[in-house]
A and B are shown apart, each in its own frame.
Chain A
Amino acid sequence: AQTVTQSQPEMSVQEAETVTLSCTYDTSESDYYLFWYKQPPSRQMILVIRQEAYKQQNATENRFSVNFQKAAKSFSLKISDSQLGDAAMYFCAYLSRRATNKLIFGTGTLLAVQP
């Protein structure tokens, strides 16, 4: 069974600085998707960024980018120029191409942004 591990329960970053959130996953499959979701205190889960495993190029969305290392099964999220609104719980998630309804989540990393 696939698993997703986020080893940093909490992280803190200064406003305007850069922070990297770690995520590793375990799978025997070669075709899958990876996601980062953000859940602010209001609790609505919002998609931050997604990556298809067959794409070698790392996904980017404005200030958010990933470092996808397929062989190492690592999928870290980098937030550049951190803003107060980035404070939230961040979840890494895995989705198999063969079982596309079963999104598997990590336990999350709570990010605090210091002014």
Chain B
Amino acid sequence: ETGVTQTPRHLVMGMTNKKSLKCEQHLGHNAMYWYKQSAKKPLELMFVYNFKEQTENNSVPSRFSPECPNSSHLFLHLHTLQPEDSALYLCASSQGRSGLAAQETQYFGPGTRLLVL
């Protein structure tokens, strides 16, 4: 248990559906992240939020829409996804910019396994 939770753990959706992934961290961190993990590929950073402000959008298609209402919660809204979007979506958090390795370390949630039909 890393202090980062994600719901749902599994999700099956059609290409016309709208769904949301939720992430919550109980670590008092200020930065939160969304990653996509596909088989045989390195983890891909999607979005970064620092103090609720989006500071990174790694050329992610607009069918993925993040939302960070506060430093503890992060959402990923999904709509009109494609089958190639099927993957494990990981949320992570870190203390934030400090120059110290311990506070820059990212802690991950268990992930949401997404299948797009």
Contacts and interface: CB of A to CB of B under 8 A. Distances in A.
Contact of B105 (A50, A105, A106): A50
Nearest to A55: B101
A107 B110 contact: no
Given A101-B31, A101-B33, A33 B104 contact: yes
Contacts of A42: 110
B101 A103 contact: no
Nearest to A35: B105
Nearest to B108: A45
B45 interface: yes
Interface residues on B, range: 20 to 34
B88 A43 contact: yes
A43 B43 contact: no
Majority SS of interface residues in chain A?
A: strand
A25 to B, nearest CB: 12
A97 interface: yes
A44 B92 CA distance: 10
Interface of A: 4, 33, 35, 37, 42-47, 50-52, 91, 95, 97, 100-108
Interface of B: 1-2, 31, 33, 40-43, 45, 48, 50, 55-56, 88, 90, 92, 97, 99, 101-102, 104-111, 113
